[in-house]
Structures are given as structure tokens and as C-alpha cells.
């Protein structure tokens, strides 16, 4: 029973207000619900709250219903309609909220594998707090670890804890975070800078956006702790202009936190980029912040030595920074015990493609791909068999279905010729043509090449044309050979990670699905020049 006055804590409905659910009309449903509750005088009996991503974005708009009182057991409803909102109000009026079953919506309880198999550390507050309210963030513990670190730990001690936790960069390469902090801290000079890489340009990746939209204070606090540890007083968040909601939430969070003097002496500013994929590459990103063209430069010198305006610069990914607070709160050993010995902690993935439940989820490192894709995501719609899972976007490759028992960790994925990447995971069912997919990614790299170095600028064009020649069934065995050798050439000679990795989707498809290419070749005799 959730009758008036029966319990101190009223029932509450948490409505996802992140970009995915907004795109399917969540805001209209929320305001309709709000108006209806007010009109019926029921506002006091159902607390309506606006929260960040609830998870299965593909089933949006999403609404989580918490029963209130001392009772546990939230239920999440997906695909909520205006009529469902009306029936919710009726159920509330009739004091039978517990048995409310919406007509249109899909029902998930917490035992659904999508939720049950998650381990939410980075996303622990996401979907629970109102991302625009600093009070809710503070109630959930925000800024306690920063205050504690500054008051009672030396910068060295903070770095040591991050190092011992085994945290590795979540931006793709998996570089040990503690080591990176140490090398920036060890540089001379008072004018250091901390940069958060929120460029997130891989097609199919939206983990960082989810974190920023749903819990912006978490990232700010992580950055401020990093700044304290390395000795920086200036921080930048580089974010793509397409992420309007994340930008709005960050702006507000920065205002609120600095208004209450919670960031200490660290000033954090936003830099909005025009959304070029290459601007996620750290040296291109720094050039872009400096106001120059977003083009990479050779490393060394690394940003730790020579970064923004020549100053020692720490650059980490959004999710990397979001891991800092729980590590300090729960301890390095706690974190190191999660995941695998070489890949500690959890990883947030955005699961998309041919999968029943698409969305954002967080699992311990080492979770088998099959668990994520088949159990949590429910496999491909219509029971079509899965052909492969793509990770790492245009810099990554695919894991064929027969290897779905592979644990997600940096080393295992690398062994199969792909990369962990930043967390995009695209499920491909049996209808997928791998040559087509390879051509899509090469077309993307061709488009996104900055044009500075010859192999990437001109090589991706030739590779894309060669792949199209295959798709048009005009290619011969000689073309396939040329495709392969040019892939290696571009990978071996390009200046930055974009060009060096651009051939990986092709090489991966060739490794696991060579038959898809061979099936397209011209027989020798009738070859078209």
C-alpha cells in the first residue's frame, strides 16, 4: 500500500532526461505527468524526478518507479507513452500503484540480466540523482573525497593510490593512469594543466556523454583531485558541440561547484570542439584548445612534458576521471580486486547494433562478451544468429561469434586483433556483410583524416576506393592483395593513431571473415580493369 501518510518516504518516479530518452519524447511525458499530478492534487504522493541515463536507452523513454516507504525493488519501464502516464496517475489516485501495469511499456525489474549483471561504479549515481542539482550530488557524496585528499593526503599519496588501484586510461590505449599522473607531477614548473578528453568521436560510442549528462560533478571532482595530485590549477574539458545537453549540465555544474567554492583553487573551463574525430587524439586536441587547426604532431614530446602552451599537461578520458572518486573512497585494493589482474575495475560500454536491448551498461573487466551481448543485451532481434561484435569503432576490429567467450580486457581483445577502445560495442547479426562494414569505417577515416601526413590523407582514399571496388564486384585477386599490403603500409607509416589504426577494421575483417571478400572477387578471366 502506498496510501497517503502511510510512509514517510513517498513513492517516486525517476524519469530519464538524457539525450537518448529526450530524443524519444521523454520531456513531453514528464511535463504531462507533472501537470496531471498537480491537477489531481497528487503531487505530494509521487515525487517526480529528472535523472540521467537509466540504461536500456534503446527502449526509451524510460521511467523508474521506486515504491517508497521502506520497500525495495524499483521497476524500470521502457517505451512509456502519454497514455501510460495517465494510467499511472489513475493508479496513484486509486492507491494501487503497486499493481500498476502500463499498457504500452516494457517492464524490467532489477533481476533482469541487463541490470543484475552490472557493476555500477562509474555510473553509481547516474539515473539516481538529478544531474542539475548540486545538492543531490552532494547528498550522494560529491566533493567529499576532494576535500579529504586536499586536507589529509599529500599529492604523492594520492598518486600512489591511483597507481596501486591499477586504473588504466579508458580513452582507448589503456595507459596506466597513476604513471601518467606521476610523470606530470614530476615535471618542473608551477603552470601545469589538466585536460579532460570528452571528444568521443567513434560512431556508436556514447558512454562519456552518458556520464557527463548524468553525473557531471563526478567528473569535475575527479579532475580537481588530479589537479591537486599533479600540481595544476587550470583545467579544461574538451567536448564536442553536438553534446548540447552534456555541455549544459557541465556548465551548470561548474558554476554551482565554483559558486560554492568546492573546486578549491582549480579553475575548470569548457572548450567546445567542432566534432572532428581526430580532435580526440591528444596532440590535436591540445592544438584545438590553443586555437589552432586540429592536427596531431609527432610524440615525443608527450603532453606530460610539452602540452598546452608548452606546459606539462595531464590528459585523461572522462571515464578515467570518473573512476577517481570511488578509488579514493573505497581504497586502491578494493578497486584492484575488481576485474582482472591486468585490467582492474569496470568498463562502461554503449551497446548498439543488432541487439534487443541497446543502451549503456557497466560491467567488471573480464566479463565475457557473450554475457554482455547475449544475456544482458538479449542477443539479436528476431533470434537471428550473431556474426560478430565490433569494438573500438573505426580504430578497432571485430570479435567473431565463435570467440564470444572472450573476456573484455585490454589484452584478450588485442590478441584477437581488435582493441578495447573507448567502449563502443556494436553487435552484428548474420545478415552483416563485413566488407560493407569495413568500407563504412574506411569511409569514416577518409572523411576524418586531418590531411597532414601522406599515408593517411591519400592512403585512406585509395583503401576506401579499393573496398568499394570489392563491393561493386569489380575487384580481382590482385586488388585484394593490394588492399592488404596498403593496409599495412598506412598502419606502419601514418603519423597519428587515426591513420595507424584506420586499416584495423579491414585487417580484422580479413582475418576473421576472408570469405566475405573472396565471395565478391571477379573470376580471373572476366576481370574488369
The residues that touch ligand SF4, with contacts defined as CB under 6 A, are: 278, 295-296, 449-453, 456-457, 494-496, 498-499
Residue 118 or 288: the one with the smaller Cβ distance to ligand SF4 is: 288
414 binds other proteins per the rule CB under 8 A: no
Residue 493 touching other proteins (CB under 8 A): yes
Q: Does 452 bind other proteins (CB under 8 A)?
A: yes
Q: Are 211 and 198 in contact (CB under 8 A)?
A: no
Cα–Cα distance between 410 and 456 in angstroms, integer? 26
d(CA 191, CA 283): 18
The span of 40-48, 215-223, 324-332, 461-469 binding other proteins (CB under 8 A) equals 461-469
CA 393 to chain CA centroid, nearest Å:
12
Task: Find which of other proteins, ligand SF4, ligand FMN, none residue 172 binds, CB within 5 to 8 Å per kind.
Answer: ligand FMN
CB of 292 to other proteins, least distance (A): 10
Cβ 235 vs Cβ 227: under 8 Å: yes
Nearer to other proteins, 452 or 512 (CB): 452
**Binder to other proteins among 155, 455, 497, 503 (CB under 8 A)?**
455
Query: Which residues contribute to the site for ligand FMN (CB under 6 A)?
Result: 169-173, 175, 197, 199-201, 277-278, 280-282, 315-317, 320, 422, 496-498
- Which CB, 79 or 294, lies closer to ligand FMN? 294
User: How many Cβ atoms from other residues are within 10 Å of residue 56's Cβ?
Assistant: 28
No. of H helices and E strands in the chain? 22, 14
Q: How many CB atoms lie within 10 A of CB 512?
A: 22
Site size with other proteins, rule: CB under 8 A: 28
460 binds other proteins (CB under 8 A): yes
Using alpha carbons, select from 37, 127, 32, 20 the residue that is nearest to residue 79.
20
Distance (Å, whole) CA 498 – CA 449: 7
15 binds, among ligand FMN, other proteins, ligand SF4, none (CB under 5 to 8 A by kind): none
Closest to ligand SF4 by CB, 385 vs 451, is 451
Angle between helix 216-230 and 155-165 (nearest 10): 120
E-only strand ranges, 245-294: 267-273
Residue 173's binding partner among other proteins, ligand SF4, ligand FMN, none (Cβ under 5 to 8 angstroms by kind) is ligand FMN
Rounded CA separation 460/440 (Å): 12
CA 123 – CA 120 distance, rounded (Å): 5
State which of residues 82, 271, 457, 474 lies at the interface with other proteins (CB under 8 A). Answer: 457
Could you tell me if 494 and 486 are in contact, meaning their C-beta atoms sit under 8 angstroms apart? no
465 binds, among ligand FMN, ligand SF4, other proteins, none (CB under 5 to 8 A by kind): other proteins
Distance of CA 490 to the CA centre of its chain: 28
Pick 15 or 327: Cβ nearer ligand FMN: 327
Candidates 208-216, 431-439, 458-466, 516-524; binding stretch for other proteins (CB under 8 A): 458-466
- For β-strands 386-391 and 11-16, DSSP reports them as unpaired
Task: By CB under 8 A, tell whether 446 contacts other proteins.
Answer: yes
Minimum separation from the CB atom of position 493 to other proteins (A): 5
Q: What is the smallest separation between the CB atom of 421 and ligand SF4, expressed in angstroms? A: 17
Maximum alpha-carbon separation in the chain: 85
- Residue 205 to residue 395: CA distance in whole angstroms: 12
What does 459 bind: other proteins, ligand SF4, ligand FMN, none (CB cut-off 5 to 8 Å by kind)?
other proteins
Amino acid at each position: 500500500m502506498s496510501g497517503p501518510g502511510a510512509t514517510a518516504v513517498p513513492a517516486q518516479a525517476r524519469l530519464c532526461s538524457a539525450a537518448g530518452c529526450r530524443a524519444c519524447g521523454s520531456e513531453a511525458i514528464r511535463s504531462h505527468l507533472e501537470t496531471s499530478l498537480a491537477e489531481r492534487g497528487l503531487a505530494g504522493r509521487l515525487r517526480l524526478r529528472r535523472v540521467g541515463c537509466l540504461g536500456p536507452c534503446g527502449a526509451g523513454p524510460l521511467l523508474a518507479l521506486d515504491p517508497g516507504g521502506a520497500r525495495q525493488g524499483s521497476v524500470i519501464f521502457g517505451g512509456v507513452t502519454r497514455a501510460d502516464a495517465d494510467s499511472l496517475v489513475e493508479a496513484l489516485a486509486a492507491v494501487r500503484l503497486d499493481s500498476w501495469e502500463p499498457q504500452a511499456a516494457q517492464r524490467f525489474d532489477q533481476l533482469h540480466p541487463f541490470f543484475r549483471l552490472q557493476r555500477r561504479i562509474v555510473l553509481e549515481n547516474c539515473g539516481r540523482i538529478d544531474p542539475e542539482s548540486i545538492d543531490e550530488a552532494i547528498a550522494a557524496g560529491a566533493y567529499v573525497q576532494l576535500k579529504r585528499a586536499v586536507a589529509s593526503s599529500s599529492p604523492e599519496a594520492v598518486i600512489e593510490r591511483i597507481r596501486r588501484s591499477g586504473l588504466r586510461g579508458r580513452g582507448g590505449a589503456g595507459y596506466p593512469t597513476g604513471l601518467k599522473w606521476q610523470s606530470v607531477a614530476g615535471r618542473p614548473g608551477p603552470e601545469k594543466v589538466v585536460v579532460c578528453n570528452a571528444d568521443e568521436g567513434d560512431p556508436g560510442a556514447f558512454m562519456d556523454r552518458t556520464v557527463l549528462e548524468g553525473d557531471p560533478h563526478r567528473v569535475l571532482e575527479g579532475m580537481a583531485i588530479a589537479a591537486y595530485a599533479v600540481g595544476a590549477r587550470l583545467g579544461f574539458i574538451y567536448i564536442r558541440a553536438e553534446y548540447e545537453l552534456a555541455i549544459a549540465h557541465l556548465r551548470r555544474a561548474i558554476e554551482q561547484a565554483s559558486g560554492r567554492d568546492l573546486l578549491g583553487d582549480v579553475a575548470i573551463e569548457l572548450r567546445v570542439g567542432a566534432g572532428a574525430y581526430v580532435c580526440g587524439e591528444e596532440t590535436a586536441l591540445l592544438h584545438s584548445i590553443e586555437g589552432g587547426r586540429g592536427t596531431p604532431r609527432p610524440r615525443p614530446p608527450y603532453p606530460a612534458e610539452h602540452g598546452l602552451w608548452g606546459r606539462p599537461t595531464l590528459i585523461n578520458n572522462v571515464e578515467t576521471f570518473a573512476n577517481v572518486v570511488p578509488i579514493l573512497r573505497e581504497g586502491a585494493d578494493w578497486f584492484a580486486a575488481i576485474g582482472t589482474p591486468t585490467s582492474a575495475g569496470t568498463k562502461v560500454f554503449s551497446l548498439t547494433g543488432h541487439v534487443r536491448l541497446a543502451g549503456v551498461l557497466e560491467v567488471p573487466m573480464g566479463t565475457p562478451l557473450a554475457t554482455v551481448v547475449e544475456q544482458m543485451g538479449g542477443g539479436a532481434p528476431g533470434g537471428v544468429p550473431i556474426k560478430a561484435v565490433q569494438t573500438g569503432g573505426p580504430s578497432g576490429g571485430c570479435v567473431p561469434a565463435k570467440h564470444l567467450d572472450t573476456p573484455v580486457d585490454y589484452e584478450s581483445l588485442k590478441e584477437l586483433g581488435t582493441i578495447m577502445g573507448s567502449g563502443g560495442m556494436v553487435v552484428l547479426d548474420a545478415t552483416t556483410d563485413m566488407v560493407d562494414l569495413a568500407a563504412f569505417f574506411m569511409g569514416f577515416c577518409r572523411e576524418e583524416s586531418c590531411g597532414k601526413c601522406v599515408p593517411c590523407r591519400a592512403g585512406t582514399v585509395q583503401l576506401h576506393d579499393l573496398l568499394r571496388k570489392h563491393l561493386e564486384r569489380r575487384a580481382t585477386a590482385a586488388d585484394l592483395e593490394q588492399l592488404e599490403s596498403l593496409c599495412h603500409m598506412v598502419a606502419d607509416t601514418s603519423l597519428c593513431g587515426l591513420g595507424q589504426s584506420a586499416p584495423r577494421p579491414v585487417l580484422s575483417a580479413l582475418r576473421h571473415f576472408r570469405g566475405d571478400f573472396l565471395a565478391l572477387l571477379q573470376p580471373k578471366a572476366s576481370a574488369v580493369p
